[in-house]
Amino acid sequence: MSRSFTGCKRCKGRRQKCDEQRPSCGRCQQANTPCRYAMQLQWGGRAFSRSRFGACVGNGGMHKLEYSPGEFIYTTNSSSTALSPGSIIAGTSSATTATTSLNYYIDPFASLSTDQKSLLHHFLSDASQITACHSGMQQDICKMLVPMALQTPSLLYATMALSAIHLQALHNQSENVKSAPEIARFMALSLEHFRKELENPASRGSDALLATARTLCLAEIHSGAIHPNSWRAHIAGAKALMDSSSQRGILSPGSPEGFRRYLDRWHRSIVSLTALTGNGPPIGVEAAVADNTTDSATPDYLDDYWGFTVNLAAIFRAIGAISWREHQYLLQQQEEPGQEAAVGDTVFDIDVAHEAATLEGALRRLMAAEEVGTQPAFYPGVMEGLSPDCIRQLMLCNEAFQRSALIQIHRRLYKTPASAPVVQDSVKRILECTAQIGPSPGLSPWVMLTTPLFIAGCEARGADRQQVRQLLASLHDTIRVPNVLQALRLLEQYWGNQLDENEGWSQFLDRMRIDFIPY
């Protein structure tokens, strides 16, 4: 066959004839691979380096600006400084001097309306800070997310919804976020485009769609959603997208591997928090509860995105898995007391005390390692960008999460009374760690503390409850996430309507039919 000159990149690279169907040609559809087209530029018959444009690039007058992985424009050195948010999304120039200057400014947001530009700029400067505990992480998130959002409508509208939620909270309207028509419109537009993009074979497995699921999930959680299958549906959707791309054995076309690793970390961590605090079934594969809950073969990285270690996240998932299996077992006993299960039925029968003891042993080994002053391990390249104070605060944050896990092991698995010293000592230590980290509007581990504060609040007594109120109110006033205010409201309900000391938060959620994650 003759080589295709106007076909897709795959057919041209393989010197095959392309039928040039859009968005995906026949060969790419048959091979179940992404199909991409690229414009072939001609340089007047000359080699690029000898053309006038090539000479301009070669003498330093222009440089390549990559606005999305694998896609770029040529611009002048002077224009790169004009992009106020572009310092986050622009690439670096190899040129040292500029002998040619073009006064034309290329705005990457030119296709957006004024309101949309305003929301995207707010995300870059403010809203992104509440999902990051240091500046390096914020820049990485924006560098990966914003260029992709400019090409993916579902992700763009989801990002605008997340930004609008934060903006409304800044204007002291956290309680009205769920009814705000503009936020609802952005969410609806994102979901509408999301469905269309999922139907496109060329988009399946795309990191952009996975990023959309992540951003929609955060928007639902930040807004204070408590209805079943709201935020949880997006986590399950993200899992399905990840499984789909894994089965095909591909990474998203044009996306850096670092972005997929970041999305993997997000999904693992949000699933872990759901297992630690939620009342529903575990999302994904249930964690195996055994002595290998903590994996010594790989470093126990302290995840700077969430503020707790990888092995601690595995313990969170195990707590949720055991608690759910026990819940199913009790339901089975209530429905069929003394009756043998039929063939094919799942039989839930577990030794909760043994598995809880195994988990507590693994947790206390993690706590002991930190007590002897062992320096935490961070993902490669992270620690160099962290200040000593940020490292200290991340260690305090991790300790608060460790104490949260200890509380949940005793309350949800052992059924230890809330008044027991092991529970109350952990409550007080969580409050101490939170106070030592201290209030910050963002770019600090302070933004991670809703979960441990909430878990401590569920078991707090007397003056500790008042301190929980003050810390959660301070957390909301500084980071302006409506879900923090929702957490405080639900705690007040729990304190006022708890049947007795033995009714834990999970039982209360079941009774009130609420699906809430304190994040």
Burial of residue 14 (number of CB atoms within 10 Å: 0-12, 13-18, 19+): middle
431 — pLDDT class (breaks 50, 70, 90): very high
* Mean pLDDT of the region 271-285: 79
Most confident of 348-352, 444-448, 511-515: 444-448
Domain map of the chain by residue range? 1-41, 115-247, 353-518
51 — pLDDT class (breaks 50, 70, 90): low
* Mean pLDDT of the region 186-202: 91
Give dist(CA 401, CA 451) in Å, integer: 8
Predicted local distance difference test score (pLDDT) of residue 88: 41
Sign of CA dihedral 25, 20, 74, 150: negative
Structure tokens at 491: 């705690």
pLDDT reading at 90 higher than 60: no
pLDDT digits (tens, 9 = 90+) for 154-164: 999 999 999 99
Q: Is 152 helix (H, G, I), strand (E, B) or coil?
A: coil
Q: Is 167 helix (H, G, I), strand (E, B) or coil?
A: helix
Q: What's the one-letter identity of residue 503?
A: E
When comparing pLDDT for 181 and 95, which is higher?
Answer: 181
pLDDT reading at 230 higher than 80: yes
% of the chain residues with pLDDT over 70:
76
Q: Is the pTM of this model over 0.85?
A: no
Give the list of residues 6+ apart from residue 87 with CB closer than 8 angstroms, or none.
none
Predicted local distance difference test score (pLDDT) of residue 45: 55
Predicted local distance difference test score (pLDDT) of residue 247: 58
Give dist(CA 109, CA 346) in Å, integer: 54
pLDDT digits (tens, 9 = 90+) for 320-347: 999 888 888 877 777 665 555 444 444 4
Q: Is 201 helix (H, G, I), strand (E, B) or coil?
A: coil
* Mean pLDDT rounded to a whole number for the chain: 81
Structure tokens at 222: 């930040």
Give dist(CA 323, CA 163) in Å, integer: 35
Structure tokens at 237: 């959707």
When comparing pLDDT for 465 and 84, which is higher?
Answer: 465
DSSP bridge pairs for 308: 303
Domain covering 1-41 in this structure, CATH number: 4.10.240.10
When comparing pLDDT for 226 and 296, which is higher?
Answer: 226
Predicted local distance difference test score (pLDDT) of residue 40: 54
Q: What's the one-letter identity of residue 22?
A: R
* Mean pLDDT of the region 196-203: 84
Find the range with the poorest average confidence among 117-131, 198-212, 353-367, 389-403.
Answer: 198-212
pLDDT digits (tens, 9 = 90+) for 365-415: 999 987 766 778 898 888 888 999 999 999 999 999 999 999 999 999 999
pLDDT reading at 134 higher than 60: yes
Predicted local distance difference test score (pLDDT) of residue 512: 85
pLDDT reading at 149 higher than 90: yes
* Mean pLDDT of the region 352-372: 90
In the block, which residue shows the tokens 């970041």?
262
When comparing pLDDT for 4 and 415, which is higher?
Answer: 415
Predicted local distance difference test score (pLDDT) of residue 478: 94
% of the chain residues with pLDDT over 90:
44
pLDDT reading at 262 higher than 70: yes
When comparing pLDDT for 302 and 96, which is higher?
Answer: 302
Pick from 226, 68, 232: nearest CA to 149:
68
pLDDT reading at 100 higher than 60: no
Give dist(CA 411, CA 19) in Å, integer: 63
Most confident of 55-64, 244-253, 275-284, 317-326: 317-326
Give dist(CA 123, CA 231) in Å, integer: 20
pLDDT reading at 457 higher than 70: yes
Predicted local distance difference test score (pLDDT) of residue 491: 95
